[in-house]
Amino acid sequence: MNDNDILALYFERNERAIAESAKKYGAYCQSIADNILKCREDTEECVNDTWLRAWNCIPPERPRYLYAFFGRITRHLALDRYRAAHRSKRIPEHARLATEELDALFADHETPQDLLEAKALGEALDCFLGTLKKRERDIFLCRYYFLWQTEEIAARHGIRENYVRNLLSRTRRKLKLYLEQEGFGI
């Protein structure tokens, strides 16, 4: 079933939309959640919550790309669950390390002005990612968006783990320079 057919089911409020979404995108969403949570039960709950959240968002929202829409929902739910685990000291080590590597670049955002700057920062990050070569961008996203471990990234690309770490370090430095040139005080 294609994405337009699945969207039509959501707009008709047909519960089959959830089953079709799970059939087409379930493994993808499970992969995202599992890379963040590393716990089968939490991953399953997160993916099920994805379908509920999608059901509540569509309509009125009409996502252009269901793949990205479901992935974004799953990632946010998994990170929320991760943060809850963090508060209770049940943090997966790989996820803590990945977030700490980027946290060093960014200050905390608390005021409405900071939220507007965070949105502008997100747009600048998108532009920065567009400047990277495909492989470099993929490695960066695997680490900091999907929270993969460096050995998983190395295996995926058929390269040494040390190379992955060095590439990520260079890319973080490039990101810092890029953001400073764009007027973000890092």
Q: Do 121 and 153 share a domain, yes or no?
A: yes
In a domain, 58, yes or no: yes
Upper half-sphere CA count for residue 134 (Cβ side, 13 Å): 1
Instruction: Give the structural domain span for 107.
Output: 95-181
In 3D space, the residue among 150, 145, 137 whose CA is nearest the CA of residue 76 turns out to be 145
Q: Please state, in angstroms and rounded to a whole number, the distance separating the CA atoms of residues 109 and 183.
A: 16
pLDDT of residue 94: 67
What digits encode the pLDDT tens for the residues 8-43?
999 999 999 999 999 999 999 999 999 888 889 999
Structure tokens at 26: 């379930």
Q: How far is CA 11 from CA 36, 66, 70, in A?
A: 31, 14, 16
pLDDT of 93 reads 67
Q: pLDDT at residue 90 above 90?
A: no
pLDDT digits (tens, 9 = 90+) for 67-83: 889 998 999 999 888 88
From 57, 74, 90, the end of a domain falls on 90
User: What's the whole-model pTM score?
Assistant: 0.59
**Euclidean distance between CA atoms 36 and 32, whole angstroms:** 7
- Do 8 and 82 lie in one domain? The reply is yes
113 and 83 belong to one structural domain: no
Asked if residue 131 and residue 60 are part of one domain, the reply reads: no
End position of a domain, from candidates 90, 115, 135: 90
Length of the chain: 186
Considering the domain architecture, whether residues 104 and 163 belong to the same structural domain is answered as: yes
- The number of folded domains in the chain is 2
Tokens of 121: 């920062």
pLDDT above 60 for 47: yes
- State the Cα–Cα distance between residues 142 and 96, nearest whole angstrom: 15
Structural domain includes residue 44: yes
What CA–CA distance (Å, rounded) separates 42 from 178?
37
Query: Would the pLDDT of 174 be above 90?
Result: yes
Of the pLDDT bands very low, low, confident and very high (cuts 50, 70, 90), residue 84 is: confident
In a domain, 186, yes or no: no
- Statement to judge: residues 82 and 102 lie in one domain: no
Q: Average model confidence (pLDDT) for the chain? A: 85
Residues 80 and 67 in one domain: yes
